[in-house]
Structure 1
Amino acid sequence: MSSGCPFTGAASPTGCPVSAEAAAFDPFEGPYQVDPAEALRWSRDREPVFWSPRLGYWVVTRYADVKQVFRDVETFSPAIALEKITPVSPEAEATLRKYDYAMNRTLVNEDEPAHMERRRALMKSFELDELAHHEPMVRRLTQEYLDRLVDKGEADLVDEMLWEIPLTVALHFLGVPEEDMDTLRQYSIAHTVNTWGRPSPAEQVAVAEAVGKFWQYAGKVLDKMRQNPSGHGWMEYAIRRQKELPDVVTDSYLHSMMMAGIVAAHETTANASANMLRLLLENRAVWEEVCANPSLIPNTVEEALRHAGSVAAWRRLALKDTTVGGVAIPKGAKLLIVSASANHDERHFENPDDLDVYRANTADHLTFGYGAHQCMGKNLARMEMRIFLEEFTRRLPHMELVPGQTFTYLPNTSFRGPDHLRVRWDPAQNPERRDAAAREPRLSFPLGAPNKQDAARVVRVAAVTPLAEGIVGLTLEDPRGRPLPRWSAGAHVDLLLGEYVRMYSLCGDAEDCSRLQVAVLHERTGRGGSAYVHERLKPGDEIRMRGPKNHFLLREDAAHYTLVAGGIGITPVLAMADRLKRLGKPYVLHYAGRRRATMAFLDRLARDHGDALHVYPADEGRRLDLPAVIAAVPEGGQVYACGPERLLDALAALTADRPDVLHVEHFTATGTSLDPSREIAFDVQLADSGLTVHVPADQTVLHALRAVGVDVPSDCEEGLCGSCEVAVIDGEVDHRDKVLTAAERAENRRMMTCCSRARAGGLTLAL
């Protein structure tokens, strides 16, 4: 709690004063209902954990703190996740008893070890191979509903499409018979109001009546499904599992999950889809970009879930005295952990309030939760939202929001989506009126987390400049004159050059957001990327680019820096020298090459770094004395190097006795491909999720994790970029990447899942 907050006359349960902002916080009306992240900006900035007297909860708003609460199931119980946030009136309780309402613990609000035992028993229906069975049904439903709208010219997408389809999908996923779907539809919304809303006493009775009927009817449908549980539905699978594990999958548990599953799979996806379309249509340039490049759809869906997800908050109960964000939380305290606020935390997301469909870490959002209780249905929701967006951008790219409409939301703490979403378009401009092929899908997206390789922006080549023999510089700009992303020394971009994807370090002015610069060596024996640049690329051409990304980060707290570059390896080293000079840090720069004519940036280096520069052209008889360079590194100094493998290997050998000194960037990956005849299979324990994943000899850890729905980002998948890094808790890693330093490998605290494996036995990962 910030000591500068004015005392309001109220105090938290720990006796600390309550600030004016905390005292005024009301999640049921006002700013929180309109935009939870913006409403809690003050909290993220000044009071990230605060006591809300109106709610009777501690409110947690920053990314790291929310994730801490999610992952620590021993300290924070989900038992109150479905507890009615407004006390139930005696009349409403009597109404629920009339229907024998007995909602039990579910996967959402059950403690360990019972929760994980049931989760493991029922997980299979959510694996990617199983979810694939439902994709044709989702596509068919979306096309049928859109067919009804496409020639109307105006629609309320919530009423006419987005509310209906996710509910139908949810019922199909559960395996509900067609004849029972309409009745269950009528009861679904009452459950949300009953649990997370603030109904009046009179409204509570009406809501309880609907909830009771929902409960009763769900039981009847479940009994009907027991007669032939042979389909792909989750409840049908659960019924089959009950015969094997009757003490784990009980009758009361099935009944509760039947009802909770409908709500979980329906309303969150319906609201998320409406939020997504509103967000994109309000950001017209982004909408048009996605229409033009549908490969952006998976990342766009993820960015929409981060920016305006349908799950704003969850609740937890403290099982013991603890601290969150430095604030003392007493045993028995109730917490509202606001994922919508965490998803806009600038400490984790660069420019968090921007809608950036190229964002590299957008899948880090906490809309699906995290850890053992992460949403099991996340990949079903992703599938639906991607199909919705693909169909709308293809068939109605000219759709727009009806001007002047006011967006309203069902008042509640946790779920957020507009009651209505009115859009309009000119049917005469529908693409399918000119080309019937526009009715057919263009892309089918792999299930699971988005592939970073699809999130590539278009850039224009502003200039191609000779820098040295066999080296040209590319100056890249946005075709529409918009600023390009900020970057830091050591960063690189991936350029998509025809059929090639190549990584190039940035070497221009990091302060200039109007352009990016890279240098490209023409490798005569290369695989074709550099030839594409040198022989085909010209000013005015447009190419696609991913990034910037930085896996060669310059640590700025060292006492001294030794920079070593060999050949084209000068590119990231030049950016580091520029940064160190700007910071006023002491440094030396050693630059080796075959001949001066083949060494790029010599004039600029002499101009900007002359006092620190040492140049070693081999044809002049000047040789880089690496032992002497390393011997001269002072106490507290760091070495950053980029160049040919023989140079980096020599530096690694010379710093073997102090491996924390050396930081390198490699050009290529070697030894990262799998040879199933020589590999061993092993198991991976996921500490935060409670799962055990088997990794066969012919599969990487990365792909084994994805197969069971665990999100791990990746990019190069060659051990070069570091995107797929995870934390290691236990086990010995066979490191095969080119990212970690020798010291980091010796610590054995992290690994790259795209290539590294277990050396012996298994591994335990913090996932």
Structure 2
Amino acid sequence: MQKDTDHTQAAETPAGVCPFAKAAMSSRFTDPKGCPVSSDAEAFDPFAASYQADPAEVLRWSRDDEPVFFSPKLGYWVVTRYEDVKAVFRDNRVFSPANALEKITPFSSEADAILKQHNYGMARTLVNEDEPAHLERRRALMFSFSPEELLHHEPMVRRLTREYVDRFVNKGSADLVNEMLWEIPLTVALHFLGVPEEDMGKLREYSIAHTVNTWGRPTPDQQLKVADSVGKFWNYAGKVLEKMREDPSGNGWMEYAIRRQKELPEVITDSYLHSMMMAGIVAAHETTAHATANALRLLLEDKMTWDRICQDASLIPQAVEECLRHSGSIVAWRRVALEDTEVGGVSIPKGGKLLIVNSSANHDERYFEDPDSIDIFRDNASEHLSFGYGSHQCLGKNLARMEMCIFLEELTKRLPHMQLVPDQDFKYLPNIAFRGPENLFVEWDVSLNPEKTNPEILATHEAIKIGSPSKDDIYRSVLVDQVRHEADNVIGISFKNQDGSEFPRWSPGAHIDVMVGEYTRKYSLCGYNTDRKTLDIAVLREEDGRGGSKYIHDSLKKGDALKIKGPKSNFRLDEKAERYILIAGGIGITPVLTMADRLAELGKDYCLHYAGAARASMAFLNRIEQDHAGRFELYPKAEARRADLQSLVATADANTRIYVCGPDRMIEELEQLCEPLPDNILHFEHFTAKHETFDTSNDKAFELVLANSRMVVTVEPGQTALGALKAAGVDVESDCEEGLCGNCEVEVLEGEIDHRDNVLARSEKAENKRMVTCCSRAKSRSIKIAL
């Protein structure tokens, strides 16, 4: 595969039809629309020990079969797949955060009376406030979270971390949660807010009650104690805020907010400051404490990864990002529908409450390759949803990243030989939002502490870069293990990791980015995905191409060291269909062959149709004959054989999937033939870019109206929509930036698009509902998009 483009059309559920009725008929419950609730949905309990221990695994059934379901126990619609969770986060016009801080377990009248006695009056905050008030306040208060301002806190975080590790480094054992991870983020949070030193102790004492109050399931007796602590927390936070008003000249966020209040009294009100004071402590404390505890457990359980970051501290930011994806501290968040709508093809009524499960989305194999493994070279790890997405994305995300990097650097430097205490029982405080172990017991041989023989290691540290690691810095170092002839003008190349380790598992249709010389090119993996030690690609020499394939053919040899990115996939195989038609043209055989391998393994009904110029130029013929005997047809042009695509498509029904990779003319013909069929039948990937030339001389400026963010962004001539959005500070994912992968696609609500991508199908372009922002432009003066 020279260049890849994905088109995977999702199955749609007709409006008003229950998509899971067949599986749900045995249920005793129905959802608010009267649709039967499946037995799995009926049994779902977010407070169960199994869910607290591994929420993503417990919800695997949902991601696979019922990605949006109604939970009778909660009274919530539960959303579990990546794209659906992201869509809900993105659209705060339809999905309000108003219930984000609503008690999941209503208090008793006695507990409510206690809160009333304390004059508890928690108001809206950045977490649960609707537009336009939210964005106006967010913009007014963002300064303290800028990279420059966050760097001012680095010395304090390093000093605290050093002091806490000093206390136990020579003991040989520790509970990292109670002796370090719980205390430091809280102290950092209080310093960040600007809380006076003398008030930190009391606020520490009260802060945990807020979590139990909002997201937990306290018993009636516990509710009374929690209510009293929450009330005291509220009142004490108010007193501290008043003390800060007397002299708001410090660098704390609350002090900055007090100063801003004088400029914007209607935007930053007294009640708002009081509520943010209390919510800010919890938000900056527990999320970071739990996330670091989760990360350390993961890394210590994966010795190879732990050893890697001990040996190379520059990998720590990548490890932090991958741990945030794999086991972030925020399990799920909440929204409420402001109108009748749909999520994942399921109708959600106005007023419907949604539990959007970030932790499940981060393990969705439709988006992340081998999502249950730890892979610090995963170059899309930062696309996790642990911090949310869109205009309500966590403001403090980069403060948390900085703390986690410093914690890991100190521990890997001073205690690289640290291990988890065997057979410990990890326990979690039952709540639907935050997750982290209550204890993390570790041990080590003090005599092996590196600083005993090399005290100089304490004098240096890695430079902190605020934000997520750049994709440009994330790659695998590999060696060329073999270069072999596959067909005329086609070579096969095998890669192995330089350190001899295994590659992550990859799915049929996946690809890697090969970085060699001055070129970066995408190639489909075409080996056997059961071989974890080797990655195989095939490269067609293109004399009229852009030079990458010729350089590889002429220069690459066994033993060469180079970099790759991936594996990752934009071309996924739906394994639930009954019958498959696989079509490959030329080098397009590479992803299609791995799909055939998988279908053979599953015992599915499939046939592989492979067209090429001549047998001598068609790669993998021996393998196809060996592994897919009786399941393939060859169409060498030199033998006057041509695939009858019309006849192939005519055999397709609703239970058939057609997968094709090949020349544009082949894909365009199939698109035309499949137009009368349901959208989910045809899936394709281009193996070359179209290299279509667009006349850019008449490009005019246009406006992007961001419906959810209430922003207007101007795209100048010569500038891409993606570039304009990023320049405006709007988070938009991107990868190839050539209109090939579709990662930067946005939903279009109004306006006409000048489509210049190689991603969307003809029917999708005609619908005018999606835009690939890295290359496409507006035909109209402005377009409205769902961001």
One fold, TM greater than 0.5? yes
Aligned to 1:612: 635
Tell whether the 8 Å contact from 1:733 to 1:748 is kept in structure 2 after alignment: yes
Alpha-carbon displacement from aligned partner over 1:722-765 (angstroms, at most 9, x marks no partner): 44443444456666666667876676544454566667745543
Tell whether the 8 Å contact from 1:733 to 1:759 is kept in structure 2 after alignment: yes
Query: How far apart in 1 are the matches of 2:646 and 2:35?
Result: 51
Instruction: Choose the corresponding residue for 2:121, options 89, 102, 123.
Output: 102
Aligned to 2:473: 454
Q: 1:530 to 1:504 in 2, by over 3 A?
A: farther
Alpha-carbon displacement from aligned partner over 1:551-587 (angstroms, at most 9, x marks no partner): 578999999998665xx89877987999999985575
Tell whether the 8 Å contact from 1:563 to 1:589 is kept in structure 2 after alignment: yes
Equivalence map 1:200-211=2 (5 Å): 200-211=219-230
Query: How far apart in 1 are the matches of 2:252 and 2:736?
Result: 36
Is the aligned partner of 1:216 residue 2:238? no
Q: Which has the higher contact order (CA 8 A, sep 6+)?
A: 2
- Alignment RMSD, CA only? 4.9
Is the aligned partner of 1:726 residue 2:746? yes
Aligned to 2:508: 488
TM-score, normalised via structure 1 length: 0.79
Q: 1:288 to 1:730 in 2, by over 3 A?
A: farther
Deviation at 1:102, TM superposition (A): 1.3
Equivalence map 1:283-362=2 (5 Å): 283-319=302-338, 332-362=351-381
Could you say what secondary structure the match of 1:336 adopts?
strand
Tell whether the 8 Å contact from 2:748 to 2:783 is kept in structure 1 after alignment: yes
Query: How far apart in 1 are the matches of 2:718 and 2:194?
Result: 34
Query: How far apart in 2 are the matches of 1:760 and 1:562?
Result: 38
Query: How far apart in 1 are the matches of 2:778 and 2:500?
Result: 48
Is the aligned partner of 1:282 residue 2:301? yes
Deviation at 1:252, TM superposition (A): 0.6
Tell whether the 8 Å contact from 1:665 to 1:739 is kept in structure 2 after alignment: no
Aligned to 2:15: none
Query: How far apart in 2 are the matches of 1:592 and 1:365?
Result: 45
Query: How far apart in 1 are the matches of 2:758 and 2:335?
Result: 41
Aligned to 2:3: none
Amino acid at match of 2:558: K
Amino acid at match of 1:157: L
Amino acid at match of 1:486: W
Greater alpha carbon shift after TM alignment, 514-523 vs 332-341: 514-523
Equivalence map 1:470-481=2 (5 Å): 473-478=492-497, 480=500
Q: Between Structure 1 and Structure 2, how many residues are aligned?
A: 742
Query: How far apart in 2 are the matches of 1:533 and 1:228?
Result: 69
Alpha-carbon displacement from aligned partner over 1:109-128 (angstroms, at most 9, x marks no partner): 22344333333433444344
Aligned to 2:11: none
Amino acid at match of 2:331: A
Aligned to 2:785: 765
Alpha-carbon displacement from aligned partner over 1:88-120 (angstroms, at most 9, x marks no partner): 344433433343321111122223443333334
Greater alpha carbon shift after TM alignment, 495-504 vs 254-263: 495-504
Greater alpha carbon shift after TM alignment, 301-310 vs 344-353: 344-353
Alpha-carbon displacement from aligned partner over 1:434-472 (angstroms, at most 9, x marks no partner): 545543666445433443333323444332335689975
Contiguous gaps of at least 5 residues in structure 2: 1-19, 627-631, 651-657, 676-681
Q: 1:121 to 1:22 in 2, by over 3 A?
A: same
Aligned to 1:270: 289
Amino acid at match of 1:81: A
Deviation at 1:505, TM superposition (A): 4.4
Deviation at 1:85, TM superposition (A): 2.8
Is the aligned partner of 1:196 residue 2:215? yes
Q: 1:433 to 1:704 in 2, by over 3 A?
A: farther
Could you say what secondary structure the match of 2:637 adopts?
strand
Alpha-carbon displacement from aligned partner over 1:601-657 (angstroms, at most 9, x marks no partner): 5986998999412369xxxxxxx9xxx9999988969997879xxxx8x99999999
Tell whether the 8 Å contact from 2:190 to 2:281 is kept in structure 1 after alignment: yes
Amino acid at match of 1:613: P
Deviation at 1:398, TM superposition (A): 2.1
Greater alpha carbon shift after TM alignment, 122-131 vs 520-529: 520-529
Tell whether the 8 Å contact from 1:49 to 1:58 is kept in structure 2 after alignment: yes
Aligned to 1:620: none
Is the aligned partner of 1:712 residue 2:732? yes
Query: How far apart in 2 are the matches of 1:379 and 1:700?
Result: 27
Could you say what secondary structure the match of 1:423 adopts?
strand
Tell whether the 8 Å contact from 2:526 to 2:538 is kept in structure 1 after alignment: yes
Query: How far apart in 2 are the matches of 1:433 and 1:709?
Result: 46
Query: How far apart in 1 are the matches of 2:667 and 2:58?
Result: 51
Could you say what secondary structure the match of 1:406 adopts?
coil
Query: How far apart in 2 are the matches of 1:17 and 1:528?
Result: 55
TM-score, normalised via structure 2 length: 0.77
Greater alpha carbon shift after TM alignment, 363-372 vs 743-752: 743-752
Query: How far apart in 1 are the matches of 2:30 and 2:591?
Result: 53
Query: How far apart in 2 are the matches of 1:139 and 1:668?
Result: 51
Could you say what secondary structure the match of 1:198 adopts?
coil
Amino acid at match of 1:612: Y
Query: How far apart in 2 are the matches of 1:34 and 1:20?
Result: 22
Equivalence map 1:15-26=2 (5 Å): 24-26=43-45
Query: How far apart in 2 are the matches of 1:631 and 1:741?
Result: 21
Query: How far apart in 1 are the matches of 2:550 and 2:159?
Result: 44
Tell whether the 8 Å contact from 1:295 to 1:454 is kept in structure 2 after alignment: no
Is the aligned partner of 1:173 residue 2:195? no
Q: 1:63 to 1:607 in 2, by over 3 A?
A: closer
Aligned to 1:385: 404
Equivalence map 1:389-404=2 (5 Å): 389-404=408-423
Contiguous gaps of at least 5 residues in structure 1: 617-623
Q: 1:395 to 1:671 in 2, by over 3 A?
A: farther
